[in-house]
Structure 1
C-alpha cells in the first residue's frame, strides 16, 4: 500500500500546450515577459515527482536564498537547478526545463518566506488559491491550458533528470525517494 503524504498543495499547475513546443526561445521569452517576477518558473512535466519533492526543493532554495548561497542568480533558475540535481545551470535547463516537442509542463510559483526555521515553518494553505488567477493568465499567454492534475513520480522523470538504472518494479514511494535523493545531490 502506498503511503499518503498529508502535504499541502505546492503552488504548481499542470499545463497542456495547444500544440507541442516548436519554438522554445519564443515560449521562454513570452513566459519571462508576462510573469510578474522571477518567482514564477516553467518546469518539464516529468521532473516534478510530488508535493514533497516541490516543498523539499523550495525549502532548500529558501535556505540558500536567505544565506546568500544560491548558485543561480534568480529563484526560478535555482529551483530548476535543485530539482534537476546538479550544480550546473546549463545541465539544469537541459534536464528540468521544457524542450522542443514537449506537450505538457508545470507552471510553479515559488513562495517567499521571511524567516526560515524548520521547526516554525508555516505553509500558508491559501498560497495555491491566491496565485491561481496569475497561473491561469500565464498559461493562456504561453498558449497552454491548465489541466486537472497533481504531481506524481514517474520513471520517465528519473530518466529525464539523468538517473540511470533499471526501474521496472518500483512503486510511487520508491520513485519519489529517488527524486528526493537526486535533488539532495545539488546540495552537496
Structure 2
C-alpha cells in the first residue's frame, strides 16, 4: 500500500464500521495495561530478547512492543478493541491474541510486516510490556460496552517481568512521536498533533482486504 493512499483507505474503514468512532472523540480514557521500561543498555540482540520474552511471559495475552510505537492510551485501547472483537467473533487473522493485537496496531493483514513494524529493534532504548485483557462485551453495533477494570494482580505480573529486561519503569505514558510514525510509515507531512488519529485509523484499516 502506498503511503499517499493509506489515510484514504483507513478513513473508509472507519466510515464502514464506525467500530473505532468512540476512540476518535475527545475525552479521557482509562490507563491501558501497558508498562514502559527504560533499558539500561540499548537492545543488542533482538532475537535473544524475544526468545526470552516468550519463555518468561505468563501467556500469549502479553506482548512486547517497541518503545516509539504507541501514541497514547487511546491508541492502545482502539487496537485492543479491534483485536479482542475479532477474538470474540472467532475471526482473528493471527493464531494468537498477541499477534492479532500487533497486526492491528501495525495496520496490516500481514503478520510478518506487523512484527517488523511493531516489534523491538536493535538499538532501541525502551520497550512496552502490554497486557491484553479479554473484552468486557460488545454491543450489537460492534462497539465496546465498557473498559476492563484495573487488576492489581496483572500489575504485579508486569512488575515481575521487568527485572530480566535490566531497566527501570518508565513513568511517562505513551505520546505521539515522529519515530513511531516513521516506523508505521505515516507520511512525514503528518503533524505531531495528527499522529494519534492517523494511528487509530491505521488500526481500523487492518481488516480491509
TM (norm. structure 2) is: 0.81
> Superposition RMSD on alpha carbons, in Å?
1.8
Is the 2:37–2:168 contact (alpha carbons within 8 Å) kept by the matching residues of 1?
Answer: yes
Shift of 1:37: 0.3
Residue-pair matches, total: 182
Q: Which runs of 4+ in 1 moved over 6 A?
A: none
2:160 is matched with which residue?
137
Judged with a 3 Å threshold, the aligned counterparts in structure 2 of structure 1 residues 119 and 41 are, in CA distance, closer, same or farther, namely closer
Shift of 1:136: 1.5
2:11 is matched with which residue?
none
2:177 is matched with which residue?
154
Q: SS in structure 1 opposite 2:162?
A: helix
Is the 1:20–1:103 contact (alpha carbons within 8 Å) kept by the matching residues of 2?
Answer: yes
Q: 2:61 matched to 1:39?
A: yes
Unaligned runs of 5+ in 2: 1-24
Q: 2:120 matched to 1:98?
A: yes
TM (norm. structure 1) is: 0.89
Shift of 1:107: 0.5
Looking at structure 2, the residues matched to 81 and 164 of structure 1 have their Cα atoms a distance apart, in angstroms, of 19
2:133 is matched with which residue?
111
- Measured against aligned partners, the alpha-carbon deviations of 1:9-61 in whole angstroms (never above 9, x if no partner) come to 01000111221111111111111111110000001111101111111111101
- Measured against aligned partners, the alpha-carbon deviations of 1:49-88 in whole angstroms (never above 9, x if no partner) come to 1111111111101110011111111111111111111111
Q: SS in structure 1 opposite 2:35?
A: strand
Q: SS in structure 1 opposite 2:68?
A: helix
1:175 is matched with which residue?
195
Shift of 1:130: 3.5
Q: 2:189 matched to 1:166?
A: yes
Shift of 1:114: 5.6
Is the 2:85–2:135 contact (alpha carbons within 8 Å) kept by the matching residues of 1?
Answer: no
